Structure 1
């Protein structure tokens, strides 16, 4: 069709923004030969969408119900060439062969939810571009970018509270019940940022005569998707995003987890503030895996994942682990072995990072969400879409290997 290249390019490859910031970039069109066209259009959009289907039966009839809801945060379209444009391209009808670049700038609204890609919904920010060719299929391209709502844990009154949960159950065998199996778990606090470690203390008490297979601690993400059509309904999704395992518990035995650590991967901020059709929750789950035919004993405590870490937290190096921390599964940014004599401090609105400060919080970086890219095909995409087929939001991540808070 003569279009060799049609892409959205972000200025300085910046693809992560905060609400209220300008998004700068350009549309690149490379043609093999001159092309007649009505216009080149760019559309900026931000929206949340929830959708899933359920099968229903009435007598011998089976049908599918689609549940959905949608929020539009912004949508703006401009013409940069041909009809509707201004300047030297206003009356143009043929784009010459070779490369043509159309710069753009769009200022984001001051209040937006963070980008999110979930099982039954998403919050997605896109830049679309299209070449309007009458009586032809319109070539299209698009690119997604990440918007991050600042979630400051220092403003949360319960972020420093150490949550605890306990529960027990019995195993039934024929007509008899065992003595109780009890689980207790405690996290060192409630508020964390991705990259930090949750310090887990737990007890697993086996009062039964059966061996319990293993114990496990997990960081769990739970999402509630809320549809409004054809009527209100909620679907819940949950998944373990990181976990560590402990030993089995033999009969009449009690085991202790003492300052075990589980690292939080790159995940979206809790709550998904400013979105009314999805809610994200995170919690620490401690599980005792029971014998077959018995439901596992599970206790959980809520945690909050933010983008700005708590000030003045206890250095990790004061809490030596009894199990080795996970390693190698999360790529870390390169570091230098010999910092300069007077390294520049990292300034933020709430704290200062200085590499020579033994209690320094490491500087924030960004990492693609745990789980990687997902397809982002829209209903109005055609077979001539030339970009933006997949996307992984990036979230704030604190590399604790650059801080004295880690183990040596």
Structure 2
């Protein structure tokens, strides 16, 4: 059996920049290695570099009434050869032992979205090495690449501060309370995974109830069909922190809340027509058991650190 003949197959990438990811226009350089348990005739060793997005979900009830929705985008599909077929001998005899072959494969230029695995879809980049023998099906070894879309940090607004405010009037029997106000600001719009967001909150709580601030980082995944007539959304809570309670009858108290973005968080995806990933910081002030004030901030997660504007 071919599976018993070839063992310990590995794809080793050579990176001089220390990164574990690839981006548009990069040269993928490395070598493959494998062991043969006996002399084996190989017709060729091929490689295939692919990038695509797939989404799929169902909707409706049971009894055969459920509908399936799906879409697929192919970004590129490139083929190359590591070991060329010797047409004269219809193959190359390889001896028992370890064999190593270098390869180089350029990634095409383009605004391709970052790798992502979501609830109802994924964006995947793969390198497949196929080892071909006479009278045998190709034995394929697939490696998934971590592809990153570099964000242009010169875009206006990425390093500009964000601010917003909202208020609510806690209702008693006669609803005669003064409004509870929440004003929130952050230093910029773009962050990197693993970065900590400093959130400055200012509260006005003239009510007779204690108010508790809570901050949440949400990831919104949106999946579309090609026509955009159908979509499916999934919300994931990635981080959560609660601030110190704000006492009753307090006016304009300021505090800072630190929200750590998980280092494992995926990057924002806006370049794909069938799969979009957004991030929102939700700041919520709970007033008693029923009322709450909410301020939302859309942020961007990118691969390059963005410096905020210096204070004026």
Matched, 1:20 2:9: no
Matched, 1:108 2:107: yes
How far the C-alpha of 1:89 sits from its partner, in A, is 9.8
Q: 1:53 to 1:164 in 2, by over 3 A?
A: same
Matched, 1:307 2:306: no
Q: Residue by residue, what CA displacement relative to the aligned partner does 1:276-296 show, whole Å, maximum 9, x if unpaired? A: 22223223321124555x475
Question: Which residue in 2 is equivalent to 1:279?
Answer: 276
Question: Which residue in 2 is equivalent to 1:64?
Answer: 66
Question: Which residue in 2 is equivalent to 1:119?
Answer: 119
| Contact kept? 1:113, 1:123, Cα under 8 Å | yes
| Contact kept? 1:178, 1:207, Cα under 8 Å | no
Greater percentage in strand: 2
Question: Which residue in 1 is equivalent to 2:167?
Answer: 168
Question: Which residue in 1 is equivalent to 2:143?
Answer: 143
Matched, 1:6 2:4: no
How far the C-alpha of 1:203 sits from its partner, in A, is 2.7
How far the C-alpha of 1:87 sits from its partner, in A, is 5.6
Alignment coverage as a number of residue pairs: 303
Which of 198, 218, 221 is residue 220 of structure 1 equivalent to? 218
How far the C-alpha of 1:26 sits from its partner, in A, is 2.1
Question: Which residue in 1 is equivalent to 2:236?
Answer: 239
| Contact kept? 1:39, 1:131, Cα under 8 Å | yes
Q: Residue by residue, what CA displacement relative to the aligned partner does 1:372-402 show, whole Å, maximum 9, x if unpaired? A: xxxxxxxxxxxxxxxxxxxxxxxxxxxxxxx
5+ long unaligned stretches in structure 2: none
Question: Which residue in 2 is equivalent to 1:152?
Answer: 152
Matched, 1:30 2:29: no
| Contact kept? 1:7, 1:142, Cα under 8 Å | no
| Contact kept? 1:224, 1:235, Cα under 8 Å | yes
Superposed CA RMSD in Å reads: 3.3
| Contact kept? 2:216, 2:282, Cα under 8 Å | yes
Q: Residue by residue, what CA displacement relative to the aligned partner does 1:23-49 show, whole Å, maximum 9, x if unpaired? A: 112222212233456543321111122
| Contact kept? 1:169, 1:181, Cα under 8 Å | yes
In the aligned structure 2, how far is the partner of 1:52 from the partner of 1:181? 42
Listed as ranges, the matches of 1:244-393 within 5 Å are 244-253=241-250, 256-266=253-263, 267-270=265-268, 272-289=269-286, 294=290, 296-310=292-306, 313-314=309-310
Q: Residue by residue, what CA displacement relative to the aligned partner does 1:353-387 show, whole Å, maximum 9, x if unpaired? A: xxxxxxxxxxxxxxxxxxxxxxxxxxxxxxxxxxx
How far the C-alpha of 1:195 sits from its partner, in A, is 4.4
| Contact kept? 1:167, 1:182, Cα under 8 Å | yes
How far the C-alpha of 1:90 sits from its partner, in A, is 7.3
5+ long unaligned stretches in structure 1: 316-408
| Contact kept? 1:249, 1:255, Cα under 8 Å | no
